[in-house]
Amino acid sequence: MRWKRFWLMLAPSLAALAVLAAGMAQGAVPASFAVSGRQMKVSATTLSGRGVGIVPGVVRSIDGRPHVVLHLSLRTARVYGLCQSAEVDTPLGPFTVRLGARDREKPSQVGRLGISATSLNADVDLGSVVLNRDAGMLGGGNVPEGERGDYGVEVLTFSARNVAADAWMVMGGSFLVDGLSVEIGRDVRPCF
């Protein structure tokens, strides 16, 4: 009986969330929010695409504390072996939540991806790189543009292997993940 009520309450909430997410992805609904009080891990076996912008910035966690990050915006990307994990506190103790693509050989498609990271490690191949580009002149992506006069990096094409990032936030204008897997548990391993 309680499950019936749960599903009756969940269905309209998910529909409203989908409408808001679609509006944010189209730019019709502004997105301004605080990040949670903990970082997450994001990894990929390989990542390739077009249009990268990197600018320094600050995100604020829900407790108001500022965190210095690099905002990375990717116009389009194909991601193999997509994984995101975070440790969460529950009444039963700490658990790990992990989202990822079940088939690591099938690419996920991402449009207007934004990552606010404190560290990023990968083996990269960059094409047409401009270092120290005015951050206010960078285009595209889903993360805030930099301030005029600030340091920026712009890359036309990229491919990366063994990607591992500690991030405060990941946003995607569009995500197409064939075979999404979501797990939570004490024995669930983080992405790295």
Question: 66-109 pLDDT, tens per residue?
Answer: 999 999 988 999 999 999 999 999 999 999 999 999 998 999 99
Sequence-ordered strand ranges (E) for the chain: 40-60, 66-80, 83-90, 93-101, 108-131, 153-176, 180-185
Q: Domain for residue 6, yes or no?
A: no
Q: Which domain holds residue 132?
A: 37-185
Which of 105-109, 131-135, 140-144 has the largest mean confidence?
105-109
* Per-residue DSSP letter, 92: T
Cβ-contact 69, 168 below 8 angstroms: yes
What is the biggest distance separating any 2 CA atoms in the chain, rounded to whole angstroms?
Answer: 61
Give the number of domains in the chain: 1
Q: Domain for residue 113, yes or no?
A: yes
Q: Domain for residue 2, yes or no?
A: no
Q: Domain for residue 162, yes or no?
A: yes
Question: Greater confidence, 171 or 99?
Answer: 99
How big is the chain by its Cα radius of gyration, in Å? 18
Q: Domain for residue 86, yes or no?
A: yes
Cβ-contact 158, 49 below 8 angstroms: yes
Cα separation, 80 vs 178, whole angstroms: 11
Q: Domain for residue 18, yes or no?
A: no
Residue 50 has pLDDT above 50, yes or no: yes
Q: Domain for residue 32, yes or no?
A: no
Pairing of strands 66-80, 83-90: unpaired
Q: Domain for residue 139, yes or no?
A: yes
